[in-house]
Structures are given as structure tokens and as C-alpha cells.
Structure 1
Amino acid sequence: MNIGPFQILIIALVILVLFGRGRISEMMGDFGKGVKSFRQGLTEEDQKTDPPVTPQRIEGPAPVSRTATPAETVVDAQPADKNPV
């Protein structure tokens, strides 16, 4: 069943006669308000579920301070007070 432009025009005229021009425009206005309210509800819901992300500092283990053990000390091969002759 194909609906052509002539059938659409007849349906529109019947609806206009049944409801009147003022009632149709009022219904379309209410429909627009409903869509707008729905969109606002979606954006508000997104804002509630997605809190702003704040960077957090990640702390690792504390640095280890070491002192040299006697086995790790460097010994010069030649003493510094020797004079070459």
C-alpha cells in the first residue's frame, strides 16, 4: 500500500477538521517541550554520573639512602703522597 501526496493531504485535512488549528499547534508545542525536557534530563544524568576528574598524586616507596659499606669503598692503587723521582 503506497501512500502518495494526495492521500497525505486528505489525512492532514481530516486531522485539521477534527482537532482544529489551535489544538494542533498546542500539541506540537507540548511535544517540543517534552523533547527539550528529555534532552535536559539526559545531560543532567550525564553530569551526575561523570564527576570531574581530579589528578591524584601517586606516591611510590620512599627513596632509600645508603651509606657505603667498607667493601664498597674505592681504594687508590697508588698513594697520593708519593713523589715521582
Structure 2
Amino acid sequence: MLSIIQILFLILNVIWWIVIVHIVLSWLINFQVLNLRQPLVAQIWDGLNRLLDPVYSRIRNFLPDMGGLDLAPLIVLLAIYALRIVITNNISAFI
């Protein structure tokens, strides 16, 4: 059972870093450090959007309109952190 919990933590860590990379890449694109006309940047950006958009769109349905501010990535990061806390605090029940 411990192996399953470690795999779950690994999956949560990978998702955490994918969201962080998406946030940083969006900042670099918006501040015109990176350009979407570059093929590699465009492919990475498209892949990350396809991967994260289903999660973000469900969260955006519940959030009020904040203008240009998107809080969906923050909610995802908080949810991942909360899941890690819940699993860590209840690990004795799983073993």
C-alpha cells in the first residue's frame, strides 16, 4: 500500500510542476520574452494548454469573472497541496 501512496505523490508532484511550467511560460509569452511564432515554444504551449485546459475550464466555471486575472492555476496548486496534506495526515489509515 505504501507503494501506491508513493506513486500518488509522484503523480501529484508531476502535475504540480506541469502547472508551474505553464504559469511561467504564460508569463514569458505575455511579457514577450518568448514568441509563439517559434515552433518549439508553440508546440510546448499548445501541449500544455491541451493538457491543462480541461481542468482549468471546470474551475473557471465556478470562479467569478476577474477580468484578465486567471485564478484557475492557483486553485489547482492549492488543491494539489491540500490533497498532499490529507494523504500525509491519513497515511496511517492506508497502511
Q: Work out whether the TM-score is over 0.5.
A: no
Q: Which one scores higher on RCO, CA 8 angstroms, separation ≥ 6?
A: 2
Q: How does the TM-score come out when normalised to structure 1?
A: 0.29
Q: How does the TM-score come out when normalised to structure 2?
A: 0.27
Higher helix share: 2
